[in-house]
Amino acid sequence: MKKESSSTAKKTGSNQSSDSDKESSTASQSQKPSETEKDGPLFKFFTDSLKDIYFAEKHILEALPKMQKAATTSELQEAFEDHYLQTQKQVSRLEKVFKLIGEEAEGKKCEAIIGIVKEGETCIKDTEEGSMTRDAGLIIAAQKVEHYEIASYGGLAALAETLGLYDASDLLHTTLEEEEQTDIDLTDIAENFINFAAKQDDEDDDDYDDEDYEDEDYDEDDGYENHGYNRGRTSYH
């Protein structure tokens, strides 16, 4: 049997490598939609939805530092900080998706996320600073954001796959998995201690409201107002 020369083997290997590179390049190019495909209603809807979540992520970046500052416990503060850093990466990932499909990365005003973020701001206004009830409310507000993102990224990843934009779909799936994990993490924080501590806040309030004071502490002119009955607050850090 005639042995193949080393130069021939190298040439063959080089050709195979070249063919592989060409296939990879062709596959990558084939994922970019043609101008005809871009005119289709499904692609337009996909692009508009990308712009929607791009706006949403940037709006969330503005809201997270406020939520972190308002949080009572260090655990929730750290969770918001981690999510802020993660969201920055998700914005960059979306910009890669825009590039893959040959579109400019730009946002489209998302009324849904604006409304959800406003609910979080209302929670801060309506709850006592330093209370566990505030943290319980902030977790619910944050999870509403997560659920919106989960729905958005899940739908976008599926649409990208339907349109043959497989690289874009993979990127969107990565973010989807991150959002799902963040939602789980927030649930763990709530169920492990914050919700129970918030209930204790309520019980402390009930005890305080029902407490009887001795007559020697009461003044007929100003009642109890000037006697300094302020409860201390327990730290959960």
Does 233 reside within a domain?
no
Domain count, the chain: 1
- Structural domain including 108 reads 36-199
CATH number at residue 48: 1.20.1260.10
Does 206 reside within a domain?
no
Span 196-219, mean pLDDT?
Answer: 60
Cβ neighbors of 120 (< 8 A, separation 6 or more) are 63, 67, 138, 141, 142, 144, 145
- pLDDT of 87-121, one tens digit each? 999 999 999 999 999 999 999 999 999 999 999 99
pLDDT the model gives residue 190: 96
Whether 83 has a pLDDT exceeding 50, the answer reads: yes
Span 140-163, mean pLDDT?
Answer: 97
pLDDT the model gives residue 51: 98
> 85 pLDDT band (50/70/90 cuts)?
very high
Whether 227 has a pLDDT exceeding 70, the answer reads: no
**Which residues on adjacent β-strands are paired with residue 223?**
219
pLDDT cut 90: percent of the chain above it: 67
pLDDT the model gives residue 22: 43
Does 154 reside within a domain?
yes
Cα separation, 165 vs 232, in Å, equals 58
Does 97 reside within a domain?
yes
Span 57-66, mean pLDDT?
Answer: 98
- Higher per-residue confidence, 230 vs 27: 27
Span 57-85, mean pLDDT?
Answer: 97
Q: What is the mean pLDDT of the chain?
A: 81
**Across 64-116, where does the E strand assignment appear?**
none
Span 18-41, mean pLDDT?
Answer: 57
Does 218 reside within a domain?
no
Which residue carries 């999870």 as its tokens?
A: 143
* Residues composing the chain: 237
Whether 202 has a pLDDT exceeding 80, the answer reads: no
**Across the chain, where does the E strand assignment appear?**
none
Does 194 reside within a domain?
yes
Cα separation, 4 vs 107, in Å, equals 58
pLDDT the model gives residue 31: 64
Span 44-69, mean pLDDT?
Answer: 97
pTM of this prediction?
A: 0.73
Which strand (E) or helix (H) includes residue 131? none
pLDDT cut 70: percent of the chain above it: 71
Does 191 reside within a domain?
yes
- Structure tokens given for 27: 């596959």
Does 232 reside within a domain?
no
Phi/psi region, residue 135 (left: phi>0; alpha: psi -120 to 50; beta: rest), is alpha
Span 24-46, mean pLDDT?
Answer: 68
> 206 pLDDT band (50/70/90 cuts)?
low
